[in-house]
Structure 1
């Protein structure tokens, strides 16, 4: 029997259930996904510090990103993760190359973190938790009756409160990254910035997913159970 493919990222939280096993490693893409995500950043900072040659560093980093996608194609595995990583790395490398400054390799990350933090802040102010929207959208695509879908989870006070908490948690993560890394960028400490980016990347992401799971697993499980009971009751009455 084929093993069911586990979802990653927020998709893993969408399947959170207090009665099921939850693996942080699987949620962040497994060991291979972690290596593929971190390797371009590690190579960039190590190469630049060792050679102080930006063009060489960019060339080697670009080659590595392409190789990762090619390897997945040869092995007939899903290339979506590697391909999205290639696009992100490509943007970072082009930014650094066009500006002739290694520190600008990290500019795209600043913009995405600031953008995510702003969107989550707006959602909190509107009392519609952004993480709740994303997780519920993944969990049950509202192809019809959007109002019913929206009221279903927003009307569950415990679940909405959990979603508000993790939305604040993730907003704090994005802001913390900016608070630590932007000063390093402004003072042109490329090596320290690279190390900070690596430490506050996958490890912080894994921690945020794990804490988010602990917060939403129980209310989401209860919400699913209540929904199942309501469906059974409706079928019985028909």
Structure 2
């Protein structure tokens, strides 16, 4: 199921060549455990996108410059495959892929509905995107797969740092405390938006998961909503979207 979720049309990655080459994360890492689980990948990925869409500049960049609305499954699979590459692929493969992403980001600029200029390669935005991804995957695994505890969560955040730096996120959190600090620093910028509800409706209906996973998809989306910090979930108007109201 994890392989199906991350198999992106038009993207081919050789995870085995060069043979024996080290990945950005070690085989005995917490990241290897987290990323091979489809539950933490899907739930965590959706939670990360919700946190990203709450920030106006990231929201505009994602919604205006990607195919989320028209081809959500392709977009999700490409994002998921990129995440898998940063964990499992040989370092040089990951570096080449990330360099390509960075080149594309360098061309993405615009203005939010509120009139604020943004650029996809803004270091603050890159830090936030990396922070939300780490938080989403780690917290989803901890809550819905098996408890990790604070020490292993810290380790997982730290393991994401090499890839984060390659993306240009030089100050992405490397611990649970770092995540809390990032969330606190960003808190005043996070806001409700119709785009968040549009995304939730899209991701509930899009055939992102294969087989029986498709039937569970709406429930997994609710689980993703419940990963958001309670006060933020309330501010975004998402109280009725989580598992607690089933």
> Is this a same-fold pair by TM over 0.5?
no
Q: Is the radius of gyration larger for structure 1 or structure 2?
A: 1
Q: Which has the higher helix share?
A: 1
TM-score, normalization by structure 1: 0.26
